[in-house]
Chains A and B, each alone.
Chain A
Amino acid sequence: MKCLLIASESAEVLFYWTDPEFRQNVQDQYGASQEEGQRPPAFEDSLNTLFAPIIISCSTMVDRLGDSYACFTTENQHNYVLHQFDECLYIAVNGDGQECEDDLRRKIYVMKKMIEVLFGMVNLSSNLLRKELRPQDTEQRTGLWKHLQGLLETYSRLRENDQSFLVEAVERLIHPTLCEQCIEFLERRLLPALNSSSERNGEEVLHSFILVHTKLLAFYSSRNTSTLSPSDLLALIVMTQSMYPSNTDQEDPGPEVQPPPEACSHCTTPPIDATYCSDVESVSVSGLEMFYTPQPSPTNRSSSGSGTSCGMAEDSLITLEVSPPDPLAPTRVFLEVSLKDGLYPMMPHSMYCRPLWPGITLVLLTKIPNSSVAMSVYSYLEAFAKLEKRLSEGQEGPAAARGQPTVHDLRSKLDKFIKALGPCDIQVPYTLHHIEAIFYCSYAQWSCVCLASRLIPWCKSMKTQLCGVYKQCFLNGTTRGADAPQRLSPALQELAQAMVQEKLMDWKDFLLVKSKRNITMVSYPDFPGLVHFICVDRSSGQMIAPSLNITERSTSELGGGPLAQFIRGKVWGLVRTARQYLQKGYSTVTLRDGDFYFCYFLWFENETGYKLDEVDLPVLPDDSPPIGVLARDYYRKLLRYYSKTHAGEVVKCYELLTVHLGVIPTEYILQHCRQLASKLWEPSRNPLL
């Protein structure tokens, strides 16, 4: 019984997702009074009715006590976690014992992250965000919510099944030679070919990577480009998986299901969407469809925020037909960019996902032509936020005096900005000019203290206007209007796809198998009693772990089914526990739990591998953002915190989790851990294999 709800302060539902049990539960509570035909609107309404008292009480508590609800637990172990981001209240519920409080909080933060990636700086204006999340047009709303629901379900599925999403670090395919070849291919052939083409319509491919299921085969960023943060990369993998879900049941594709080579080139042309969502029989059977067994989870592949999904069939909203999105249209994503002059969050990019074969995807991230506007908007937003803070804090003379030059400075810059917007073909709202004029007018007259408080609302209004400009530039043009979409030309996209397909043709079967058996515990005969381990390099956001296959069909050395499932449960529990202690400042944890012995270590090294001294880690409150990377990068903060005492040194942070049999003496266990820690990240970056 699970649910996630986003509501505005006035208890308006901005987004919801529920699993069938929760829906059933709500319908049971309201079932008696509902008419059959009236279900679709009724569900949202009854959800609204049920949660409204909580939402309203939440804002009452904030207003009158300055405190708000963080979590409820009932006697039958239902968990409710609440978190407010600006004016949006997120509520996550679990009633089946599968998710603990931390999981729910993580889910909320991940949802928030996804919304940030999809809507960028519109997030900074609650008013605009509310309109974006709940479009007036029902069809549009249905499409958007389905898209978000798909992302959320994909994330939940990955977090439950994929170790890299458990620890929130990217897992690479361990095959040094092939990886090197692929990186070289991306660098020397693919990116030059794309970026020199005239069909790129002003876009520039910055990052490119190849995913095999969720694992990274190769990643290349063009020179002088900001690195892609681990958090953003994980979010993009979730989006890719949501568009082209890997079929988790389809383990170890045997030779009999492999498509003939000609089918592969064929498969690039028809929109993959058709193979997903329409009848398998009615579509041209190219042998490929064998891979595309419809998923129970939504196979949302919308690239425009108005996607469709066949997984949500039982949702009555499906009745509203949504036009299939153009598979070649890019997805607008807002990612963090770090430049020499600072960090710019939520900068617009276009993401192109090209499926090479089922399970193998090429992702291209491009810089769009007018992306510099975003940087300006961000600078102004920041400047206005600072000004507003200063105005509301220190309204004394000195503070105002300091503020004055900045404001004039701001003004001249803003003038330039508005002029610069002209050629960009963007309709600057009349109000922006209008408000700007009034703002400076009042500012010029500002001599007495009382005016400062009158300026604050104008600051806010300016910020909203800026967000509006941003929205118009980056959200409306390409992804909504769609009449003259800005994108790499379809031919260019297909060229890219064909190039990589050609390169990997001989490898694809190997890759699919390899992704399931990246490394296995059999490769560690020197560690008797070691059941499992996960090693994470937090500086690069990458992890290594033996595969833990848990589906019925596959067998690892742990055997299939129940035993592997049991170990999986233990590993997942260990990560959860380790995080709880890490949150409270403990960097080493060992536990004897039933027949197993668990270890967790976190440590710092410098670039040469010298182990650095421990420092007191920050002790965080219970409702702080979850420890992880995807939603909020805890480790980046930790590294920054640690670097303060190690100025001038490159600090690296590692984590090791091990599961041993309990009968192994502790000395040996610790020795194993030590060996693993030193071997796994040898300078070659190649682990034992």
Chain B
Amino acid sequence: MAELMANSGRCTYFFLYDGTKVQGEGDPTREGICYFYPEQTPVDQQELLCGQLAGVGRCVSELSSSPVRVLRLRHSKFAIKMEDDFFWALGCAMDFPTVSMCDRLDQLIKLFCFYNGPVRQSYQTNSRETLALCWSRYLFYLQAGATELHHIFSCLRTIDSTHIDPLLLLKAALILQACQRCPLVLAGCILFRGRVVSTQMPPCLTVRVMAHETQTYNKDERLNGMSSSFPLSSAVTSTTVHLTLSELQDLRSTTVDRESRPHSTPSQGSRPRRTRLSRTLSDTPSTESTPDLEPEPPGRPMRLDAPLSPGLSRGAEQRDATPTNDPLLSPASPRFPEISPLTNQKGPRRGGQEEEDEEDGPLEKSRYYSFHSPDGNTSQTEFQGEAPPPTDASPLGNPPPAGRRAPEREGYPEGRAASGGSGGDILPGAGVKDRTVVPMTLYQHRVKGLLLALLVEPHLQRDTEAMEEVYHSSLASLNGLEAHLRTVAPGAPGLQGPYTFAHYDCVQNTLTTNVSGRAGGDQDHSFVRATSLLHTHFCNSDALQEAIIRSARTAVYATRSVAQETYFLQHGGALRNSGVPNHQDTAFTLPSKARHRLLKHGVSLL
């Protein structure tokens, strides 16, 4: 797709510089350059940029005792990340919002860590060339396709739900639910031709999972423990991925009641369970079948998998393989309250999600118990059932004294912290939680353009029965779903009208807009410009609820709530005006126009 407007969202430079490689006076700067984009940049210019920016970055961070976040030159700007002597810089054009630029850098780094594990470690085990390939892929992925608006909000690309039978979305959601009946499956998503159909994961994880799917050149990928030789089918592959402790914890908690714990705000109460979790994890054997990078202490007793999974999968096996016919699905649905088929975003209920949570939380839990106890699934209920309401006072839940964090990080690099034996000797604080990574497996089942991606516990792969169960339970429905989705006309333009709008769902990280990205007209351009300014303003101001900004040619109205941001521009009717305050000014009719017009796009501003 030739996207004219995507240009300003493109990054101009991206590099990763390793400060540990250049410490002596005589060390050439190029030793420290791990990756530099654009790759054809002359080496001396690479050295200049890396050397100067990293040097100045260090100097400033010493002065302020805090890492540099944004570094701006007269003609370009850089999002900076400084961590463990690594220095990342992502350069963008000046008119690209700074907040979005910083988001993208974070996304990029997390994406890398998701597939390759901690950066320092992957550079120890892999060659720069191999990893350079990864960086360039991820960079390409994050910038590919979508319109500039998508870049501004760094949002997920979803299928256009207005053109799809809602039943198909429901079906997709049900497939995911069915897979989740295997307790080793944490969460999943269904993608169709690079767009999300349905997802159970938080948006930040969905983006990363999608990166793998969108890589058209993933055929030759054998890096990092990817093994495609599955006995079931060549359509199924799996890859090792790395989740941080907090991400993992959120995923695990969501299988119970995600609603009461929005992923963005891990509550205090969920901490104790995490420590239990890490102990459970530490017991997870990770020998031959887990294509894990880091050696783990062998010989730990198995506790979780052996008694648990077969029982469950057997139970599941007895049921019908097609989940839609499964009578048990209806009672099961409360168990998966997080399922959010994308149709949901239209409903006004997303806006008030936080309020609803309060009511739903306890209810879900009680249903969960009643649903699970007949299974006799003790081990499972042990760690999930103990998930206490936020009032739990386990000593393990308290964050460690700040002073302890740094040594912990060094003492237990990355995944080791999770496998460090009894949970008692590690008190993961927030920092450690975000930086400690746990290897998991990404199970992928492809049916032509459709992909089912599941985040599963690593030992699912050794559990043939469970594997087969997951595979068979979803196979038929996936085929059906694919056939239906294929018939939907791709890329039908959004409903056009004498207006331009963009509606961003902050919770699901999705965007609805009628800016096509192809036309790139004058109006569209000024709309995008205004949107990026207003979005930045929204990001920087908590109290701001709505805004109208008007220049001689255009007036844009923007409004936001906790869950969404909406931008609206009315075409036509040249705004001949003096700019003096005038209540007849058309700009001030925008709010009511937006309310009316956007209703048919499923956007409610009431």
Contact = CB atoms under 8 A, between A and B. Distances in A.
Interface of A: 25, 29, 50, 53-54, 57, 60-61, 64-65, 67-76, 78, 80, 93, 95, 577, 580-581, 584-594, 599, 601-605, 611-617, 621-623, 654, 656, 666-667, 670-671, 673-674, 676-677
B548 to A, nearest CB: 5
Given A54-B60, A68-B73, A611-B578, A593 B583 contact: no
17 contacts: A54-B56, A64-B48, A72-B70, A74-B68, A75-B68, A76-B66, A80-B60, A584-B533, A586-B530, A591-B547, A592-B546, A592-B547, A602-B579, A613-B577, A671-B583, A674-B582, A676-B581
Contacts of A93: 63
Interface in B577-597: 577-583, 585, 587-588, 591
B187 to A, nearest CB: 30
A604 B552 CA distance: 12
Contact of A585 (B68, B551, B580): B551
Given A614-B577, A623-B74, A57 B55 contact: yes
A592 B576 CA distance: 25
Nearest to A668: B583
B549 interface: yes
Contact of A677 (B64, B541, B580): B580
Interface in B32-66: 48-49, 52, 55-57, 59-66
A677 B56 CA distance: 49
A95 B61 CA distance: 12
B128 interface: no
Contacts, number: 172
A590 B72 contact: no
Nearest to A615: B552
B547 A590 contact: yes
Given A584-B533, A587-B551, A588-B550, A604 B70 contact: no
B154 to A, nearest CB: 19
A601 B581 contact: yes
A612 B577 CA distance: 8
A69 B529 CA distance: 24
Contacts of B48: 60, 64-65
A577 B551 contact: no
Contact of B552 (A614, A622, A656): A614
Counting from the closest, the 7 A-B pairs by CB-CB distance are A673-B581, A611-B578, A670-B583, A603-B579, A76-B66, A594-B543, A588-B550
A67 B76 contact: yes
Nearest to A64: B48
The majority secondary structure among interface residues of chain A is mixed
A72 B74 contact: no
B328 to A, nearest CB: 49
B267 interface: no
B132 interface: no
B68 A601 contact: no
Contact of A69 (B56, B94, B548, B577): B56
A586 B549 contact: yes
B52 A73 contact: no
A161 B587 CA distance: 34
Given A76-B66, A589-B548, A670-B588, A68 B74 contact: yes
A581 B55 contact: no
B486 interface: no
Contacts of B546: 591-592
Contact of B549 (A50, A72, A581): A581
Contact of A53 (B55, B94, B530, B552): B55
Contact of A613 (B55, B533, B576): B576
B547 A588 contact: no
B600 interface: no
A67 B75 contact: yes
Chain A CB within 10 Å, residue with most, of B56, B61, B580:
B580
A623 B95 CA distance: 12
A613 B48 CA distance: 49
Given A593-B541, A614-B578, A95 B64 contact: yes
A604 B579 contact: yes
Residue in B48, B57, B94, B547 whose Cβ sees the most chain A Cβ within 10 Å: B547
B545 interface: yes
A667 B579 contact: no
Contacts of A666: 583, 588, 591
B548 A590 contact: yes
A674 B583 contact: yes
A674 B577 contact: no
B581 A599 contact: yes
Scoring A590, A605, A674 by chain B CB atoms within 10 A of each residue's CB, the highest score goes to A590
Contacts of B63: 25, 29, 50, 78, 93
A78 B56 contact: no
A616 B55 contact: no
Interface string B60-92: 111111111111111110000000000000000
A581 B94 contact: no
A674 B577 CA distance: 14
Contacts of B530: 586
A54 B58 CA distance: 10
B61 to A, nearest CB: 6
A569 B583 CA distance: 27
Contacts of B448: none
A572 to B, nearest CB: 13
A349 to B, nearest CB: 35
A611 B62 CA distance: 54
A69 B73 contact: yes
**Residue from A603, A605, A612 having most chain B Cβ neighbours under 10 A:** A603
B579 A614 contact: yes
Contacts of A72: 56-57, 60, 68, 70-72
B349 interface: no
Given A586-B530, A613-B576, A616-B552, 9 more contacts: A29-B63, A69-B71, A80-B60, A581-B533, A586-B549, A594-B543, A623-B72, A654-B580, A670-B585
Contacts of A601: 579-581
A622 B94 contact: yes
A67 B73 contact: yes
B72 A588 contact: no
Contacts of A587: 550-552, 579
Contacts of B599: none
B5 to A, nearest CB: 17
B348 to A, nearest CB: 20
Contacts of A599: 581
Contacts of A64: 48
Contact of B580 (A73, A592, A611): A611
Nearest to B58: A53
A589 B579 CA distance: 10
B150 to A, nearest CB: 22
A635 to B, nearest CB: 14
Contacts of B587: 588
Contacts of B548: 588-590
A616 B575 CA distance: 12
Nearest to A677: B581
Nearest to B102: A73
Contact of A621 (B49, B61, B94, B550): B94
Given A592-B545, A593-B543, A74 B580 contact: no
A537 to B, nearest CB: 14
A309 to B, nearest CB: 27
A97 to B, nearest CB: 12
Nearest to A667: B583
Contacts of A622: 72, 94
A164 to B, nearest CB: 22
A593 B559 CA distance: 11
A533 to B, nearest CB: 11
Contacts of B73: 61, 65, 67-70
A74 B67 contact: yes
B544 interface: yes
B300 interface: no
Contact of A73 (B65, B69, B585): B69
A80 to B, nearest CB: 6
